[in-house]
Amino acid sequence: MEKYTLITGACGGLGRAFVKMIASAGENLVLVGTSKSKLDDLIKENKEQFNSVKVLDFVCNLADKKDRLKLVNFINEKNIQINKIINNAGVIIEGDMIKFEDDEILKAVEVNCVGTLDLTQKLIKMRDENKKFEVLTVSSLASSYPMPHMAVYAATKAFLTSMMTALAVEFKGKNVVICTVCPGGIPTTKEMKESIKSMGLGGRLSAASPEKVAKVALKGLKKKKKVVIVGGFNKFLAGISKIFSKSFMAVVVGNIWKKSQSKRKF
């Protein structure tokens, strides 16, 4: 069976960087996104790079259990072997928890936590146990501490970092490598660009381009690291969060975040 790397959120800012790097490494791809037209555009844009690899695409709302099953069935029907999954899709919601409609909060939890866990488990079960299987999950520096005013998003990412780190140990010696990457800001969307800008020097020091994040993440996966924090400043911030109590960190981070949000244009 031919080997493929599956990338969720392939059409997003960071997803595109992963797609380019994986294709240039000569790996076949299953691109997963929420819109057929976005996937078609992505394939058109990378036409030359995709000349030397096989590319399949599939529309899947990761928040939907039936859609996740359809994706698994698609893989079975194509008779291909997924040997690497990049869990990159994520819903970034920011602001006070009370201001969101129920659906927005549930969607973030369903995509970031439930969808990622369910798809990862299904694909691990389908692996060839004699061959290496790799899981790279995009979490966030936000998983290092509680984040008032961005509480739901940070908690979904804390779930991911905790779960994937535990699974990395659970699967030790079983041909499954599990790595979680925790970037700071990535200027992928206009909201994230504005967010990084409003954080001033700290925001600039914490930020990294999608290309840099993808490169560091794939290097960490290759080195079989359980958790990869992107950038020296972010490693320092993650280190501090281990020294102080979660309650203390919540107060400090909450103040910084509130100040930054008040400076935003949107």
Ligand X SMILES: NC(=O)c1ccc[n+]([C@@H]2O[C@H](COP(=O)([O-])OP(=O)(O)OC[C@H]3O[C@@H](n4cnc5c(N)ncnc54)[C@H](OP(=O)(O)O)[C@@H]3O)[C@@H](O)[C@H]2O)c1
Give me the active site residues, please: 153, 157
231 binding ligand X? (CB under 6 A): no
180 binding ligand X? (CB under 6 A): no
Of these, 85, 138, 167, 178, which contacts ligand X (CB under 6 A)? 138
Of these, 7, 12, 146, 167, which contacts ligand X (CB under 6 A)? 12
220 binding ligand X? (CB under 6 A): no
- Beta-bridge partners for 179: 136
Beta strands in the chain (DSSP E): 3-8, 28-33, 55-59, 81-87, 133-138, 176-182, 227-229
Helix/strand/coil for 83 = strand
Which position has the token pair 């979490």? 139
250 binding ligand X? (CB under 6 A): no
Selection from 19, 170, 166 nearest residue 89 by Cα: 19
Q: Tell the smallest beta-carbon distance from residue 229 to ligand X (Å).
A: 11
Selection from 6, 22, 32 nearest residue 84 by Cα: 6
Q: Tell the smallest beta-carbon distance from residue 180 to ligand X (Å).
A: 11
249 binding ligand X? (CB under 6 A): no
Q: Show contacts with ligand X in window 50-109 (CB under 6 A).
A: 60-63, 88-92
Q: Tell the smallest beta-carbon distance from residue 38 to ligand X (Å).
A: 5
37's tokens: 């037209």
230 binding ligand X? (CB under 6 A): no
190's tokens: 């206009």
Q: How many residues bind ligand X (CB under 6 A)?
A: 29
Selection from 50, 58, 89 nearest residue 76 by Cα: 58
Nearer to ligand X, 60 or 131 (CB): 60
**Cα 133 from Cα 85, distance rounded (Å):** 8
- Contact residues toward ligand X (CB under 6 A) are 8-9, 11-15, 33-35, 38, 60-63, 88-92, 111, 138, 140, 183, 185-186, 188-189, 192
